[in-house]
Amino acid sequence: MAISVLLVALVATFLLFFAGPADPAQSMCGELRCSQQKLEDIRHSMRLDRPVQEQFAEYFKGLFVGRDIIQSGSIKECSAPCLGYSFRSQREVKGAILDRFPTTATLALMAMVVFLTVGVSTGVLAARRRGTSLDRFVVGFTQVFGAIPYYIVALLFALYLTVLNPVFPRSANISAGVGPWLVGLIAPAIVLGLVYSTGYVRYTRSAMVDTLAQDYVRTARSKGISENRAVYKHALRAAISPVVTILGLDMAGLLSGTLITEQIFSVDGVGRLTIQSLFQDDLPIIMGAVLMSAFLVVTMNLLVDIAYSFVDPRVRLT
Amino acid sequence: MSIVPQDTVSAPAAATGSDSSRAPLLEVRNLVKYFAVKEIQGLRMTHGTVKAVDDISFILREGDTLGLVGESGCGKSTTSRLITCLDKPTSGSILFRGQEISSLREKDLRPLRREIQMIFQDPYSSLNPRQTVGAILKTPLKVHGLAKGKEKARIQELLELVGLNPEHINRYPSEFSGGQRQRIGIARALAVEPKLIIADEPVSALDVSIQAQVMNLLTKLRKELDLSFIFIAHDLGVIRHFCDDVAVMYLGKIVEQGNKAQIYGAPQHPYTQALLSAAPDINVVRGVPPKARIRLVGDVPSPINPPSGCRFRTRCWKAQDICAAQEPVLELKNVAGDPFADEHTIACHFPEVKTDLVAEVLV
Amino acid sequence: MSMDFGEVAPVTAAAPRPVEVIEAPMGDVVLKVEDLTVRFPSDEGPVKAVQNLSYEARLGRTLAIVGESGSGKSVSSMTVLGLHNRARTFISGSVMLDGEEIVGASEATLRRLRSAKVAMVFQDPQSSLHPFYKVGSQIAEAYLAHHRVSRAVARKRAVEMLDLVGIPNPDRRAKQYPHEFSGGMRQRAMIALGLVNDPMLLIADEPTTALDVTVQAQILDLIGDLQKEFGSAVILITHDLAVVAEVSDDILVMYAGRAVERGLTKDVLSRPNHPYTWGLLQSLPSASEDADSLRAIRGAPPSLVHLPTGCSFHPRCDFQDLVGDACISQLPELRSVGPGRLIRCHLATPDETLNPEAALIDHQLIDHQEISS
């Protein structure tokens, strides 16, 4: 099932780029006015003169075994998984993406820490105090905050907290040292985390409202255990399941690169690379990024399923 | 054939027992329904079969009331779905007025649906909350083209028939109590003037004080409209009150069948005896000696892998080797001490009459 | 025919047990409920779930609280464990458990008493056990809440309890999850959970309603056996009068939040003195006798927000016209009609009015009791 999703994504992306109306070679060229020789070069190396199926087979083969790219007469080897070659930046797509991946991944993980702690604890608090003004405030606030377009929130945060009043340090490239690089990721991680947390507040709250009313929580209380234990060990434990699913999907998205955040905060991650490639019509990189994203979604879904069977013992014996 | 009243159990005044001269209304022969299930354990997937109904046969004649009794997993609900053609059997046949109905297409089933109707257990979920009572009752009339031009009058007539106020025709189900909703469900079933009603636990979801009202209604309707019933319940008291004949089911099989005097007064199958013994009896407070205590050990086994031979043998105190090897056939057995041997069938290798399971009542 | 059981587990006592008319001893009072009133807010107005309820539970005896939906039977027992949401529930009156007041008690007090002095077995064992935790650890948790012992000791205690309630292979079962248990076994596990700290009072709220009748009999037997062994008081909440007859010593009948009849089970069920109790008994189809039609109680239980004036039962009562206007205008007080016997009714001579044939067969009943005791 997962394989078929990947295959469909692969074929669709490929067709979009290589069988579409735009001339891929022209876009890949990178210069405004491409010399005929260069265009021929590209076409030949990307085998654009061959039928579509062959092109696809070539690409497919490249993913698993590796293939050869012809560039300006010389043959370069593109090892598996070969995601293509960017003529514009003169390097393999795979390398370009992998260079940036650690930054994106770290940002994603830091954001996850923020939205999980803030989101879940606020959700639990609101559920416990359901109906009170605190609860209503939390629900109202998350709705309003979640309704504001993300780029506005990110821009405002970046502007007021990193540029005008440098409360948070600016982002730095890893070449400047691990320390500054990490510290530079704090601001985007916080913004990302806070905005994502609105969803988690809502999911956790509604799942908790449901589980707190369940019979097994009543049983737990009747044992004479503390209220906190009943809330966390019993109610929250059961409410976690829907949160796990959403977490998986969110992480897939975050790991694929957050385009707006990275752009606004000048973080050199996969997202920024993707945006740059979009502006530059660097097709191979765009394709590579899309494929990676599809792969991440499928993988995260699989991980979520596995996590589910640990969370809910009934799932193992369906 | 008549039922001789004995001193332990009083037989019903009208002899509505199985009189062989009347034509059968419904005949079920070797009915089987298996469901395929997949179980996922880790990475393995095992295929199993739930043998919900496994070769049952019975005859229902016009005017009969047959009770199907059994615990969870015995197959009584599945049987009701098969008879009303809501499900297709795996094998076997269902004959209504001599015509095979289990293999009919939906188109040909339609006229049959006027004859066989069902009353459901849960009055809260079996009525569409978005339809008024009038709309709910109008639907069957429209589908079958009945009371054309006089629908409203007929609907009001139906409401009165079940003891509801005809002026409430435009109310929604949520405005009625549980007992009233069940009456609406009964009115819906009666709208098409059926001959056979399958009642699947019609009073189990109701309060005790309301159960009697609905039971009385069903008794009245049965007499007035000359209906035949298949009545499914787990409450032995309700079955005894309403049904003239009883079939006891266990894990997809009928283990004992007879009229109510036979089943309650002289049960022969160990499971029937255990059921009767387990049912709490209010008469213990009236100074009567309590009945024989039979307590089964363990829970009802799963219908996925029923025991070989006699399915009851794993909980039976009389079980012997033959019970595992050979499945007992449901048949007449002339057991000593059974005053009601005619048409009392039992599926057991060692049937034994017990007449002390129903406490005597001093009046 | 030889009775050779082979390898099939010998199962039952097929021979009838001798008649037991052992009157349970009058043990100490462990629970004293006095004038309890419980109200919940709702959109339509306050829901008067329980009003001015008083009763007692004694060690070694089983009290059955009987009523239909809306009678207040479950609400009143949840109050004993302090399980209501204080912010939303109005509770007044007194609930004394072993001398300690529950109404208005602090959370710390309630936690100390829950499971240790009073435990509850709920109706649906499927939803009452946490689906994600093993059964053994759920029982151990209750033990650890009240005893300072290691987890290993608590786990051992859990296995002992599972064994006590008749679950075979208790160590293997303790490591399983609730969904791996059958319905009857789950209820046994709930009972094990309830008794793990040896409480003096066990409240069983409709413990067998969700179970098959053969399993119900096993569970009721189990509760009865455990009560005899440990001498605890049992409150059994149910709507099933036949169960009450077989299992309980004392009975409290509730209607629309109030007590309407109280007394010894055998007295109340053989000679009811309240029209509601009488009506319930008349309307029961019995597995033991034939009747042409059932004498039903007309009407339906009232809304707890808009209760009828005077006696809450009067719109459905067959005897209201015998009394007259008093039933409609005046709420009857609980009054005594015999030793330990209370009713809430305006009828002047309830016993004779409701049990006219009783006088005729009185002497036959007395004969039977003399023979069997």
Q: Which residue of A has its CA nearest to C199?
A: A223
**Residue B108 Cα, gap to closest chain C Cα (Å):** 39
**Residue C371 Cα, gap to closest chain B Cα (Å):** 10
- For residue C6, pLDDT over 50 is answered with no
Greatest mean pLDDT among A127-131, A281-285, C151-155 lies in C151-155
- For residue C369, pLDDT over 60 is answered with no
Per residue in C175-193, pLDDT tens?
A: 999 999 988 899 999 999 9
Residue B219 has its nearest CB partner, among C68, C280, C293, at C293
Least confident of A208-217, B16-25, B291-300: B16-25
Dist CA C249 CA C247 (whole Å): 7
The number of CA neighbours under 13 Å toward the Cβ of A204 is 29
Q: In what order do the strands lie in the sheet with B228-233?
A: B116-119, B196-200, B228-233, B65-69, B245-250, B253-259, B345-346, B331-332
Dist CA C248 CA C66 (whole Å): 11
Please, what is the average pLDDT of chain B? 84
Q: Do B280 and C217 touch (CB under 8 A)?
A: yes
Q: Phi and psi (nearest 5°) for B258?
A: 180, -175
Q: Do A223 and C127 touch (CB under 8 A)?
A: no
Dist CA A278 CA A22 (whole Å): 14
> What residues 31-50 of chain B have any CB closer than 8 A to a CB of chain A?
39-42
Beta-strand ranges (E) seen in chain B are 24-41, 44-61, 65-69, 91-96, 99-100, 116-119, 196-200, 228-233, 245-250, 253-259, 331-332, 345-346
Per-residue model confidence (pLDDT) at position B8: 36
- DSSP summary character for residue B359: -
Mean pLDDT within B304-309: 85
- Dihedral angle over CA of A163, A165, A169, A170, nearest 10: 0
Per residue in B193-227, pLDDT tens?
A: 999 999 999 998 888 888 999 999 999 999 999 99
- For residue B4, pLDDT over 60 is answered with no
**Residue A299 Cα, gap to closest chain B Cα (Å):** 18
Per-residue model confidence (pLDDT) at position C12: 41
As a three-state string, the secondary structure of C122-148 is CCCHHHHCCCCCCHHHHHHHHHHCCCC
- DSSP summary character for residue B168: G
Per residue in C218-241, pLDDT tens?
A: 999 999 999 999 999 999 999 999
In the beta sheet, which residues pair with residue B44? B41
Strand B91-96 with B99-100, pairing: antiparallel
List, as one string, the DSSP characters of B89-137: -SEEEEEETTEE-TT--HHHHHHHHTTEEEE-S-TTTSS-TTS-HHHHH
Per residue in B37-95, pLDDT tens?
A: 876 555 566 778 889 999 999 999 999 999 999 988 889 989 999 999 888 999 999 99
ipTM associated with this complex? 0.82
Q: Please tell me which chains touch B, using 3 or more CB pairs under 8 Å as the contact test.
A: A, C
- For residue C13, pLDDT over 50 is answered with no
The number of CA neighbours under 13 Å toward the Cβ of C287 is 29
User: Is the CB of residue A119 less than 8 Å from the CB of residue A195?
Assistant: no
Identify the helix (H) or strand (E) that includes residue C54: strand C47-58
Structure tokens at B208: 């005790």
- For residue C197, pLDDT over 60 is answered with yes
List, as one string, the DSSP characters of A209-247: HHHHTSHHHHHHHHTT--HHHIIIIIIIHHHHHHHHHHH
Per-residue model confidence (pLDDT) at position A26: 66
Residue C282, SS3?
helix
- What letter represents residue A78's amino acid? C
- What letter represents residue C219's amino acid? I
Least confident of B117-131, C254-268, C282-296: C282-296
Q: Do B280 and C14 touch (CB under 8 A)?
A: no
Q: Please tell me which chains touch A, using 3 or more CB pairs under 8 Å as the contact test.
A: B, C
C75 pLDDT tier (thresholds 50, 70, 90): very high
**Residues of B in Cβ contact (< 8 Å) with A316:** 40-42
Q: What is the CA radius of gyration of chain B?
A: 22
Q: Is the Cα torsion angle B315, B320, B323, B328 positive or negative in sign?
A: negative
Q: Do B209 and C301 touch (CB under 8 A)?
A: yes
- What letter represents residue C45's amino acid? G
Q: Is the Cα torsion angle C138, C143, C148, C154 positive or negative in sign?
A: negative
Strand B196-200 with B116-119, pairing: parallel
Dist CA C251 CA B75 (whole Å): 37
Strand B24-41 with A91-92, pairing: unpaired
User: Is the CB of residue B274 less than 8 Å from the CB of residue B26?
Assistant: no
Per-residue model confidence (pLDDT) at position C142: 95
Q: Which residue of B has its CA nearest to C214?
A: B278
pTM: 0.84
Please, what is the average pLDDT of chain C? 86
Dist CA C34 CA B232 (whole Å): 44
- For residue C338, pLDDT over 70 is answered with yes
Report which of A265, A263, A29, A30 is spatially closest to residue A273, judged by C-alpha positions. Answer: A263
> What residues 313-342 of chain C have any CB closer than 8 A to a CB of chain B?
316
Greatest mean pLDDT among A278-287, B116-125, C92-101 lies in C92-101
- For residue B361, pLDDT over 70 is answered with no
Determine which of B209, B262, B322, B363 to mutate to test the interface with C (most C C-beta atoms within 10 Å).
B209
User: Is the CB of residue A163 less than 8 Å from the CB of residue A175?
Assistant: no
- For chain A, the first-to-last Cα distance in angstroms comes to 18
Residue C49, SS3?
strand
Q: Do B283 and C288 touch (CB under 8 A)?
A: yes
Q: Phi and psi (nearest 5°) for C31?
A: -130, 125
Report which of C269, A81, C212 is spatially closest to residue B204, judged by C-alpha positions. Answer: C212
Triad C363, C368, C373: Cα angle to 5°: 125
Mean pLDDT within B322-328: 87
Determine which of B38, B39, B40, B47 to mutate to test the interface with A (most A C-beta atoms within 10 Å).
B40
Report which of B236, B233, B240 is spatially closest to residue B279, judged by C-alpha positions. Answer: B236
Per residue in A64-122, pLDDT tens?
A: 777 766 665 667 677 767 777 776 777 778 888 888 888 888 899 999 999 999 999 99
Determine which of C128, C176, C201 to mutate to test the interface with A (most A C-beta atoms within 10 Å).
C128
Per residue in B84-127, pLDDT tens?
A: 988 899 999 999 998 899 888 888 888 888 999 999 988 888 89
**Residues of B in Cβ contact (< 8 Å) with C182:** 299-300
Q: Touching check for A314 and chain B: CB below 8 Å?
A: no
Residue C286 has its nearest CB partner, among B282, B290, B300, at B282
Dist CA B361 CA B282 (whole Å): 11
Dist CA C30 CA C102 (whole Å): 13
Q: In what order do the strands lie in the sheet with C250-255?
A: C118-121, C201-205, C233-238, C62-66, C250-255, C258-264, C341-344, C334-338
Cis omega (within 30 of 0) on the bond before B270? no
Q: Which residue of B has its CA nearest to C6?
A: B320
**Residues of C in Cβ contact (< 8 Å) with A222:** 81, 83, 114-115, 119-120
Q: Do B215 and C3 touch (CB under 8 A)?
A: no
